[in-house]
């Protein structure tokens, strides 16, 4: 659907483009032809004008002519008639006048032979004014264009008269018409005709007394038949706007009209020269061209459509194959993912089992030691008690025996009880991993008070060591939270610093501080030591359960994990650690002033 729309749009666009370009070529063609016609006409007029100049100057140079003027014998008829005859027949010269210095016609070499008239035309006037040969196209009284050339005649350095040659340009018009097969119509302002002082000239072209008026214009055509075929309503259009506008190749029906202004010798607008051309043939050629273009476009569109369709089908097949391949690949990837996932799950499971194994082994190892001691002490005491009772029953019990029994029993208990204590302690910390919120008491308390009392209970752990601690809480901070678990967190962190941070009785400082955060909803508690610090690897694993660097030396690796659980799950906060080897460790705890869960109302 979309495809057919696109194809139709493209075909229509190409059609419009081709049509407009055909039209442009056609119009340019007509324009070019028109310009050629005008150019041809102008060149002809120019060559006729040069011819006239040559002819009359040749006469003006003749001594007999100069003499006739000089001596005022004026016998021009005898001197010139033969020349006029040949100029008239061979060169279309229609008249040859001889003027005196006073503009009076001395001799006319063609009819009417009336002499003695005063001639008042531009060409003559200007030839007199500037004393040189002057040519010009002038409009006669009846609307006939006459090309005139006037040359002064000199004798002994001064002007003695003027010779004028004239030619009606009908033959130039006719030549142009036949050369280009066009009609030429001249349109004059009627006013201009009335005002002219030109003498009566008869025209080589036809004039009509009826139907030759269009408003204030007079028409003159070369062929009367043109009048019947030309729509005169076109003429005012060609004259409209401004009289000096040129219209080149206006097409109306099967004719093309062109019009241009004509100027007289003085550059004054005198007429419009209209060319009417029958373009029936050109129109037919254009129609054939358009038809041809149309057919070729349709053919090209059909071929294009077929090819496109073919390509589309091929592409569709390719795409379907691609989709199938892709779905197969996706299936393979999904299967791989599944097997990867199950492999991962089984790995995790194995890992869990492995760490559980480690835990069990560690815990067993830890508990095994005190329990082993206890069992050994128990059996030692059993033997000791049995032999004591036998001695008692046999009546051989001496005082020294009783004293020895007392000492042994005391020593045995001294070993047995701490060992059992140790085992019980291990079991306790193992239970701490699963600490839960419900089992703890929530309360409103002062942070400094709680931390101070916790630190008091820890003092004895550093009694014989060069370790000091400081507590800095700048403002009073009240919490609605769980003081017990919070104390446990502080205790574990403090013990860790003492046990892991400071080895070999090195001097140490533990700095504990607390401050409210900027939102006044949380408190940040820091426990910092300047001990040995941790490696990057240890820092990353520090909060993992059972991670310890003191495996087999009393460390269970549960301390930080318990802290993590208490801070995140019970106190509703976050804990993070920073540590640098040989510089110390720092634990930062951020907890809300009001712990999550039910608020303490008491
Ligand atoms: N302040 C500290 N300085 C240096 N290392 C520390 C510090 N605190 C913790 N660690 C390291 O983190 C490990 C884990 O600590 P955690 O408290 O979880 O276990 P533990 O102290 O080894 O054993 P437990 O606390 O169960 O007795 C420690 O073994 C130690 O390597
Ligand atoms: Mg610890």
Domain boundaries, the chain: 2-278, 283-429, 437-592
- pLDDT score of 196: 41
**Token reading at 107:** 């001799």
Structure tokens belonging to residue 283: 């129109």
For strands 269-278 and 183-189, give the pairing: antiparallel
Percent of all residues in the chain with a pLDDT value above 70, rounded to a whole number: 81
Nearest alpha carbon, ligand 1 atom 20: 557
Candidates 31, 3, 84, 535; CA nearest to 306 is 3
Q: Determine which helix (DSSP H) or strand (DSSP E) holds 151, and give its type and residue range.
A: strand 145-155
The residue whose CA is least distant from atom 13 of ligand 1 is 548
- pLDDT tens by residue, 404-438: 888 888 888 888 887 787 677 666 655 554 444 44
d(CA 334, CA 524): 47
Looking at per-residue pLDDT, the higher value among 271 and 501 belongs to: 501
Centroid of ligand 1 to alpha carbon of 358 (angstroms): 17
Instruction: Tell me how far apart the alpha carbons of residues 154 and 52 are, in angstroms, rounded to a whole number.
Output: 18
Ligand 2 geometric centre to CA of 555 (Å): 7
Report helix, strand or coil for 160. Answer: strand
What is the rounded distance in angstroms from the CA atom of residue 545 to the CA atom of residue 434?
11
pLDDT tens digits along 580-595? 999 999 999 999 999 9
Q: Whose CA is nearest to atom 28 of ligand 1?
A: 548
H/E element holding 315? helix 280-394
Which one has a higher pLDDT value, 15 or 516? 516
Angle between helix 63-70 and 2-60 (nearest 10): 70
Cβ-contact 123, 138 below 8 angstroms: yes
Q: Residue 597: phi, psi to the nearest 5?
A: 100, -165
Domain 437-592 matching CATH 3.40.50.720: the answer reads no
Helix, strand or coil for residue 96?
Answer: strand
- How far is 571 from 592, CA to CA, in rounded Å? 7
pLDDT at 273: 81
Question: DSSP string spanning 185-229?
Answer: EEEEEHHHHHH--PPP---SSB--SSS-EETTEEEEES-HHHHHH
Tell me how long the chain is.
Answer: 602
- 304 pLDDT tier (thresholds 50, 70, 90): confident
In angstroms, what is the span from residue 233 Cα to ligand 1's centroid? 115
Only one residue has tokens 């019009």, namely 259
The confidence band for 305, taking pLDDT boundaries of 50, 70 and 90, is confident
Give the number of the ligand closest to the Cα of residue 558.
Answer: 1
354, 369, 345, 358: which is closest to 558 by C-alpha? 358
Split at pLDDT 50, 70, 90, the class of 203 is very low
pLDDT tens string 206-244? 444 444 445 555 556 555 555 556 665 666 566 654 566
Q: Which ligand is nearest to the CA of 555?
A: 1
User: Which residue's C-alpha comes closest to atom 14 of ligand 1?
Assistant: 548
Encoded tokens for 237: 């259009």
Residue located via tokens 């030619």: 167
What pLDDT digit, counting tens, does each position of 101-139 carry? 988 889 988 766 677 777 777 888 888 988 989 988 877
Relative to the alpha carbon of 529, which ligand is closest? 1
According to the model, what pLDDT value does residue 328 have? Answer: 92
Q: Which protein residue has the closest C-alpha to ligand 1 atom 27?
A: 555
The whole-number pLDDT of residue 300 equals 84
* Closest atom of ligand 1 to CA, residue 554: 27
Q: Find out whether the beta carbon of 138 lies less than 6 Å from any atom of ligand 1.
A: no
Q: Looking at mean pLDDT, say which of 11-20, 160-169, 437-446, 585-594 comes out highest.
A: 585-594
Average of per-residue pLDDT values in the chain: 81
| Fold held by 2-278 | Beta-Lactamase (3.30.450)
Sorting pLDDT into bands at 50, 70 and 90, what band is 567? very high
The mean-pLDDT minimum among 137-151, 237-251, 443-457 falls in 237-251
Rounded Cα–Cα distance for residues 174 and 36 (Å): 16
**CA 429 – CA 417 distance, rounded (Å):** 18
Q: Is 555 in the pocket of ligand 1 (CB under 6 A)?
A: yes
Evaluate whether 149 touches 135 at the Cβ level (below 8 Å).
yes
Q: Is the dihedral of CA 218, 223, 224, 228 positive or negative?
A: negative
Give the N- to C-terminal CA distance of the chain in Å, as an integer: 78
Residue range 67-90: average pLDDT? Answer: 88
Q: What span, in angstroms and rounded, lies between the C-alpha atoms of 432 and 435?
A: 5
Confidence class for position 531, pLDDT limits 50, 70, 90? very high
Q: Indicate the DSSP class of residue 131.
A: T
Q: How far, in Å, is the centroid of ligand 2 from the Cα of 517?
A: 27
Closest residue by CA, ligand 1 atom 5: 500
pLDDT, tens only, 354-397: 545 555 555 665 576 678 778 888 888 888 888 888 888 888 88
Using the atom order of ligand 1, give the atom closest to the CA of residue 496.
8
Element (H, E) at 509: strand 508-516
How many CA atoms within 13 Å lie on the side-chain side of 83? 19
Whether 134 and 149 have beta carbons less than 8 Å apart is answered as yes
At 330 the three-state DSSP class reads helix
**Which residues neighbour ligand 2 (ion) by CB within 5 Å?**
496, 559
So what's the pLDDT on residue 236? 57
Burial readout 441-474 (b: 16 or more C-beta within 10 A, e: otherwise): ebeebebbebbeebbeebeeebeeeebebeeebe
- pLDDT tens sequence across 245-299: 777 777 777 878 888 887 777 777 777 788 888 888 888 888 888 888 888 888 8
In contact, 254 and 279? CB cutoff 8 Å: yes
Determine the pLDDT at residue 480.
Answer: 95
Q: CB-based contacts of 148: which residues, under 8 Å, 6+ apart? A: 52, 121, 123, 135, 136, 138, 164, 165, 166, 167
Distance CA 260, CA 262 (A): 7
* 551 CA distance to ligand 1 middle (Å): 10
Arithmetic mean of pLDDT, 507-518: 95
Q: For helices 170-180 and 2-60, what crossing angle results, to 10°?
A: 150
Q: Work out the pLDDT band at 500, boundaries 50, 70, 90.
A: very high
User: From residue 147, how far is each of 48, 59, 135, 171 by CA, in Å?
Assistant: 8, 18, 7, 12
* Among 496, 510, 544, 561, residue to substitute to test ligand 1 (most atoms within 8 Å of Cβ): 496
The CA distance from 209 to 223, in Å, is 14
Give the separation between CA 364 and CA 355, rounded to whole angstroms.
14
Residue 468's pLDDT band (cuts 50, 70, 90): very high
Residue 572 is given by DSSP the state: -
DSSP secondary-structure letter at 159?
Answer: E
- Of ligand 1's listed atoms, the one at least distance from the Cα of 561 is 18
The alpha carbons of the chain give a radius of gyration, in whole angstroms, of 66
**Nearest atom (ligand 1) to Cα of 529:** 1
Token digits of residue 480: 């609605």
For a mutational test of ligand 1's pocket, the pick from 530, 548, 550, i.e. the residue with the most ligand atoms closer than 8 A to its C-beta, is 548
Q: What is the pLDDT of residues 308-352, one digit of tens each?
A: 888 888 999 999 999 999 999 999 889 888 888 877 776 655 655
Ligand 1 atom, smallest distance to 558 CA: 26
């Amino acid at each position: 659907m979309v495809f057919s729309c696109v194809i139709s749009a493209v075909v229509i666009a190409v059609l419009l483009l081709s049509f407009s370009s055909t039209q442009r070529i056609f119009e340019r063609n007509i324009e070019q032809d028109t310009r050629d016609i005008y150019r041809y006409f102008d060149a002809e007029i120019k060559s006729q004008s040069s011819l006239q100049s040559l002819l009359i100057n040749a006469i003006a140079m003749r001594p007999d002519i100069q003499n006739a003027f000089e001596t005022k014998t004026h016998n021009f008829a005898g001197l010139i008639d033969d020349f006029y005859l040949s100029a008239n027949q061979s060169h279309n010269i229609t008249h040859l006048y001889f003027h005196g210095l006073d503009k009076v016609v001395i001799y006319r070499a063609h009819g009417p032979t009336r002499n003695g008239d005063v001639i008042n035309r531009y060409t003559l006037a200007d030839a007199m004014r500037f004393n040189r040969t002057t040519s010009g196209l002038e409009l006669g009284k009846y609307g006939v264009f006459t090309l005139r050339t006037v040359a002064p005649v000199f004798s002994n350095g001064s002007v003695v008269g003027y010779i004028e040659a004239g030619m009606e340009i009908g033959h130039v018009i006719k030549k142009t018409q036949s050369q280009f097969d066009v009609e030429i119509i001249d349109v004059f302002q009627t006013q201009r005709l009335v005002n002219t002082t030109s003498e009566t000239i008869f025209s080589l072209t036809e004039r009509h007394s009826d139907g030759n008026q269009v408003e204030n214009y007079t028409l003159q055509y070369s062929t009367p038949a043109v009048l019947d075929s030309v729509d005169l309503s076109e003429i005012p259009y060609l004259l409209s706007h401004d009289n000096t506008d040129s219209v080149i190749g206006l097409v109306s029906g099967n004719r093309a009209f062109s019009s241009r202004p004509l100027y007289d010798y003085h550059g004054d607008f005198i007429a419009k020269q209209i060319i009417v051309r029958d373009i029936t043939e050109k129109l037919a050629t254009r129609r054939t061209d358009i038809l041809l273009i149309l057919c070729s476009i349709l053919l090209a569109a059909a071929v294009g459509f077929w090819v496109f369709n073919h390509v589309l089908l091929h592409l569709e097949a390719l795409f379907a194959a691609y989709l199938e391949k892709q779905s197969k690949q996706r299936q393979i990837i999904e299967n791989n993912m599944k097997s990867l996932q199950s492999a991962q799950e089984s790995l995790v499971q194995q890992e869990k089992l492995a760490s559980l194994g480690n835990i069990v082994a560690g815990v067993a190892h830890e508990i095994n030691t005190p329990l082993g001691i206890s069992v050994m002490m128990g059996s030692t005491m059993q033997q000791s008690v049995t032999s004591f009772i036998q001695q008692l029953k046999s009546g051989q019990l001496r005082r020294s025996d009783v004293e020895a029994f007392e000492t042994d029993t005391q020593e045995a208990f001294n070993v047995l009880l701490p060992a059992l204590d140790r085992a019980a302690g291990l079991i306790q910390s193992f239970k701490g991993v699963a600490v839960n919120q419900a089992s703890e008491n929530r309360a409103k308390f002062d942070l400094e008070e709680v931390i101070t009392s916790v630190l008091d209970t820890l003092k004895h752990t550093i009694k014989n060591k060069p370790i000091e601690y400081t507590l800095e809480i700048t403002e009073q901070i009240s919490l609605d939270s769980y003081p017990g678990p919070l104390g446990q967190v502080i205790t574990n962190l403090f013990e860790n610093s003492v046990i892991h941070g400071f080895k070999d009785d090195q001097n140490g400082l533990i700095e504990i501080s607390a401050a409210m955060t900027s939102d006044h909803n949380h408190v940040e508690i820091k426990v910092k030591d300047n001990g040995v610090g941790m490696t990057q690897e240890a820092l990353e694993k520090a909060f993992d359960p059972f991670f310890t660097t003191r495996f087999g030396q009393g460390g269970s690796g549960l301390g930080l994990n318990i802290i993590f659980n208490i801070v995140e799950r019970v106190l509703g906060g976050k804990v993070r650690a920073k540590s640098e080897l040989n510089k110390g460790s720092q634990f930062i705890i951020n907890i809300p002033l009001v712990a999550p869960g039910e608020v303490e109302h008491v």
